[in-house]
Structure 1
Amino acid sequence: GSYLKVMQSLVKVEVLILDDWGLNQLSRVQALDLLEVVEERYQRGSTVIIISEVPVGTWYQVIGDSTIADAILDRLVHNAYRVEMEGESMRRQGVKVPSLGQGNRAGAGV
C-alpha cells in the first residue's frame, strides 16, 4: 500500500534531506523505519543530508534504542561530511533570504 510507496520513495530519491532532525524522540517503529531507509540508502551510496539544532551527542536519546541508534549512526557517520555552524540564527538577526522567485534557483525542481 501507501506505506511501501513512501518507504520506496525515501530510499530511491536522489538526495534525502532530514530537516529539523531530532526535535522529537522517535518511537521504536519510527526508529526501525529510519534504520531501514538509512540502510538501503547506505548500500546504494545515496546522499542523506541532516539539518539539526540538536547536538550529535544526543542523537542516541532521540533514537531511543541504543542498538538501533548504533546501526543508524554507524551508517550515517561513515563517509560523512560534518559541518557545524556557530552563531545566532539568521532568522533572529533579521537577514532576508531571497525566495526562489528572486533569482535563487538552488531549490528549483525540488
Structure 2
Amino acid sequence: DLFIVPLDAKERPILLEIIEDRHERKSTIITSQYPSSNWYDMIGDPTIADAILDRIIHTAHTIELYGDSMRKLRAKKSQSL
C-alpha cells in the first residue's frame, strides 16, 4: 500500500530509483488506498514527485475498486458462524 503515510526525505530517492529502474522495462503493480490525484502531495518534494509520477501515471492501467472492505465482510461472516 503506497502512500499510507507521506514519504520522508530518505524514502523519496529510493522510490524514484526503483521506478526509474523498472520504467519501460518491467511491469510494476502499485496499490494505494488513495487516488493517484493525492500522490503528488504524499511524495512531498515537487521535483521528485514530478519524476516519479511522470513515469507511473502516463503509462498506467488503473483499476479502481469500490465497495465494502473484504475484511469487514469476512469478519461478519465468521461471527455469524
Whether these two folds match at TM > 0.5 is: yes
**Cα drift, residue 49 of structure 1:** 0.5
Equivalence for 2:6: 25
User: What stretches of structure 1 of length at least 5 have no aligned partner?
Assistant: 1-19, 97-110
Q: Stretches of 4+ moved more than 4 A in 1?
A: none
State whether structure 2 residue 28 is matched by structure 1 residue 41: no
Q: TM-score, length-normalised on structure 2?
A: 0.83
State whether structure 2 residue 60 is matched by structure 1 residue 80: yes
Q: Deviations over 1:54-103 (max 9, x none)?
A: 1211111211001111110110123210000011111111178xxxxxxx
**Cα drift, residue 28 of structure 1:** 1.9
- Identity level (%): 43
- Greater RCO structure (CA 8 Å; 6+ sep): 2
- The structure with the greater share of residues assigned to strand is 1
User: Match of 2:11, as an amino acid?
Assistant: Q
Q: How many residue pairs get matched?
A: 76
